[in-house]
A = this chain, B = another copy of it.
Amino acid sequence: MRIGILGTGIVGQTLGTKLVSIGNDVKLGSRSATNEKAAGWVKATRRGASQGSFADAAAFGEVLFNCTSGKVSLDALRQAGAKNLDGKVLVDVANPLDFSKGMPPTLTVCNDDSLGERIQREFPKARVVKSLNTMSASVMVDPKVVPGDHAIFVCGNDAAAKSQVADILKKSDGRR
């Protein structure tokens, strides 16, 4: 499958490496089509890995992952372009964290709204599924580092989209 990942940080790179390792082609998207972190990741990952702008990654992917910082996610998705999101499953991994007042961070949106809902409202034709955002990147790609059974939230209002994301998660977990 072709997967577009928005964001070149530790989350985007870690998910990208895992998704390539299980047979997907992954394009890492950034504000700049020649982002150095993405270039380093492509060089390290090789086969199946590529980079581009947010729009390039969104156009490339059949399924998209938003791994940008929550504060800039809406802006990144605007650069990706609504037409490149239409009808596609968009896994929103971002958290709207505000570190400006130090640790622990606060949320820039909460209670009666959420980043996932804001993304869905602005891009109504994207099929937004919230998942993976409650754990660190190392756990996202290798849940067995945490002992015991696991449960993961997969949230959205599109049952088929959630089912597709659950399939990707199961496959990434080596359970099928």
Contact = CB atoms under 8 A, between A and B. Distances in A.
Chain A contact residues (Cβ within 8 angstroms of B): what range?
under 10
Interface stretch (A25-33, A45-53, A107-115, A133-141): A107-115
A106 interface: yes
A47 to B, nearest CB: 40
Contacts of A149: 149
A101 B9 CA distance: 39
Interface in A99-141: 106-107, 110-112
Interface of A: 106-107, 110-112, 149
Closest 7 A/B residue pairs (Cβ): A106-B112, A110-B111, A107-B111, A106-B111, A110-B110, A149-B149, A111-B111
